[in-house]
């Protein structure tokens, strides 16, 4: 028997030199983004108060490849290329003929894939003379990544952290502060947006949508000193994450394999897109037939049960209108532990791929997710974050389906972050305190009624 190889590494010279922009290959272009007041398509100038021009141009670029600046690639060398692992021990535990591979983004200094876009976002802002960035964070992974990236480039960093996470995750708050960022629990009394929410509900525990409103307001009213950064959803963010899938393609080539199925969890869609888009490209341009699956929590099923319509990206209604699968901007998440997956909308690119039948989507309940995480960590030794545990649960479903069908199926999933800051969630699971929560149909219908009329 030949020796089993479990880890496929690339040399640093193989860090991609360009990000892949799927807009060049989409069969149908993305729907236009609309001005919140006029409902007319917006242009680059409309976004200039919030983002540096380099990122605005990437947002609308139709170029297939966007060169990665050398300074960004140098910082990527702190953790890239990330390993591709073959999960032999999980395969054995499942007694499946499937081959299971995962790309491990938890080796980044911030512990998740978020740093892949935080670094270029900070870089382009610095190049255009911006002094600092404001942002929101839910579970805390994005705040951590952006505070690190701002620190690398000497930028100020202001983070609005969803209040419930601020209270439940003191160590996430602390790590953001160690990198020099200022963290405020949202909703706060530091912005008009926050004050308007608190006037209606003084006990609001917050949401990503509310924190986005606060962070956008701070940048928009700073007179150009500060700009705003978003950790997911936008086209340029998804494009930056394609380093994941590009590396995985090369690593699988070394392993002599090509995936039948590619799986990622989807909150705003960035880590899913990061691993998946280079494989979608192969499907679109080289006749490959890989199934591509986005996995979301049953408690926040924007792709599988949300409406595909124009909605705001935030709760107060300050952002442009984007056509997306949405649960409505007033969405307040159930107490669910996959904090990073609790967003009411979804990236436009992911929604279009889904609408065009180019990807699949699944919603998986919380208890199945944590059971899958335990099965994975006991086999492979890595404690996954609750978010990618959704991808693990879907992978296990696929591996068991392959076993039932007696097929060798090659599955690749993205393990986009470790769970070392999520032990309270594991604690709750182990002590039987977690429950399943199905998003109620009345709330889907209420959200539909409240959508802006376009």
- Mapping DSSP to helix (H, G, I), strand (E, B) and coil, where does residue 322 land? strand
Question: C-beta of 388: minimal distance to ligand PLP in Å?
Answer: 6
Nearest-5° Cα angle at 21, 65 to 268:
150
Stretch that binds ligand PLP, among 57-65, 171-179, 259-267, 443-451 (CB under 6 A): 259-267
Q: Does 271 bind ligand PLP (CB under 6 A)?
A: yes
Stretch that binds ligand PLP, among 78-86, 244-252, 382-390, 423-431 (CB under 6 A): 382-390
Question: Which of 74, 61, 210, 73 has its CA nearest to residue 137?
Answer: 210
Residue 260 DSSP label? S
Q: Does 416 bind ligand PLP (CB under 6 A)?
A: yes
Residue 431 DSSP label? T
- Residue 134 CB contacts under 8 Å (≥ 6 apart), including other chains: 157, 158, 159, 160, 215, 216, 218, 219, 222, 226, 227, 228, 229
Residue closer to ligand PLP by CB (options 106, 320) is: 106
Q: Which of 87, 293, 327, 341 forms a contact with ligand PLP (CB under 6 A)?
A: 341
Residue closer to ligand PLP by CB (options 96, 110) is: 110
Q: Does 239 bind ligand PLP (CB under 6 A)?
A: no
User: DSSP readout, 127-141?
Assistant: HTT--EEEEEESSSH
Asked whether the beta carbons of 149 and 181 are under 8 A apart, the reply is no
Q: Does 270 bind ligand PLP (CB under 6 A)?
A: yes
What is the total count of residues that contact ligand PLP (CB under 6 A)? 20
Contact track, ligand PLP, 8-47, x by CB under 6 A: ----------------------------------------
Q: How far apart are CA 351 and CA 73, in angstroms?
A: 29
Q: Does 333 bind ligand PLP (CB under 6 A)?
A: no
Q: Does 340 bind ligand PLP (CB under 6 A)?
A: yes
Q: Which of 232, 283, 315, 389 forms a contact with ligand PLP (CB under 6 A)?
A: 232
Q: Which of residues 139-198 bind ligand PLP (CB under 6 A)?
A: 141-142
Question: C-beta of 337: minimal distance to ligand PLP in Å?
Answer: 12
Q: How far apart are CA 111 and CA 142, in angstroms?
A: 10
For tokens 């990665």, the residue is 68
Q: Which of residues 95-114 bind ligand PLP (CB under 6 A)?
A: 112, 114
Asked whether the beta carbons of 102 and 114 are under 8 A apart, the reply is no
Residue closer to ligand PLP by CB (options 81, 268) is: 268
Q: Dihedrals φ, ψ of 386, to 5°?
A: -60, -30
Q: Does 268 bind ligand PLP (CB under 6 A)?
A: yes
Task: Give the residues across from 337 on adjacent strands.
Answer: none
Residue 19 structure tokens: 């990000």
Contact track, ligand PLP, 383-412, x by CB under 6 A: --x-xx------------------------
Residue 254 structure tokens: 């070394």
Q: Which residue is nearest to ligand PLP (CB)?
A: 417
Q: How far apart are CA 229 and CA 225, in angstroms?
A: 13
Binding site for ligand PLP (CB under 6 A): 112, 114, 141-142, 232, 265-272, 340-341, 385, 387-388, 416-417
């Amino acid at each position: 028997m030949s020796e089993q190889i479990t880890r496929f590494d690339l040399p640093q010279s193989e860090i991609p030199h360009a990000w892949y922009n799927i807009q060049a290959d989409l069969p149908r272009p993305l729907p236009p983004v609309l001005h919140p007041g006029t409902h007319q398509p917006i242009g680059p100038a409309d976004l200039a108060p919030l983002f540096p021009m380099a990122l605005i141009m990437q947002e609308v670029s139709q170029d297939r490849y966007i060169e990665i600046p050398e300074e960004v690639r140098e910082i990527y060398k702190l953790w890239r290329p990330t390993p591709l692992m073959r999960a032999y021990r999980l395969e054995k535990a499942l007694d499946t003929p499937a081959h299971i591979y995962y790309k491990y983004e938890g080796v980044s200094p911030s512990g998740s894939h978020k740093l892949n876009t935080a670094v270029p976002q900070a870089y382009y802002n610095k190049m255009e003379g911006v002094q600092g960035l404001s942002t929101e964070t839910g579970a805390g992974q994005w705040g951590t990544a952006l505070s690190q990236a701002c620190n690398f480039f000497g930028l100020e960093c202001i983070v609005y952290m969803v209040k419930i996470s601020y209270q439940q995750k003191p160590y996430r708050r602390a790590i953001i502060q160690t990198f020099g960022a200022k963290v405020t629990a949202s909703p706060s009394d530091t912005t008009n947006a926050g004050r308007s929410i608190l006037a209606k509900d003084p006990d609001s525990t917050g949401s990503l949508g509310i924190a986005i409103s606060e962070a956008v307001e701070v940048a928009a009213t700073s007179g150009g000193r500060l700009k705003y950064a978003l950790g997911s959803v936008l086209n340029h963010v998804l494009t930056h994450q394609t380093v994941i899938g590009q590396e995985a393609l090369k690593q699988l080539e070394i392993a002599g394999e090509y995936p039948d199925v590619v799986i990622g969890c989807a909150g705003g869609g960035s880590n899913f897109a990061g691993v998946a888009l280079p494989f979608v490209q192969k499907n679109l341009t080289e006749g490959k037939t890989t199934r591509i699956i986005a996995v979301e929590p049953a408690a926040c099923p924007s792709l599988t049960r949300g409406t595909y319509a124009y909605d705001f990206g935030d709760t107060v209604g300050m952002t442009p209108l984007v056509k997306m699968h949405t649960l409505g901007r007033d969405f307040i998440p159930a107490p669910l532990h996959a904090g990073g997956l609790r967003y009411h909308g979804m990236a436009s690119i992911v929604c279009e791929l889904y609408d065009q039948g180019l990807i699949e989507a699944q919603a998986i309940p919380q208890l199945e997710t944590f059971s899958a995480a335990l099965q994975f960590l006991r086999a492979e030794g890595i404690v996954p974050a609750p978010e990618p545990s959704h991808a693990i649960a879907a992978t296990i479903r696929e591996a068991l389906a392959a076993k039932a069908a007696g097929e060798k199926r090659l599955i690749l999933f993205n393990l986009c972050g470790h769970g070392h800051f999520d032990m309270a969630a594991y604690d709750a699971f182990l002590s039987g305190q977690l429950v399943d929560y199905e998003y109620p149909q009345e709330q889907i219908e209420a959200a539909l009624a409240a959508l802006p009329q376009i």
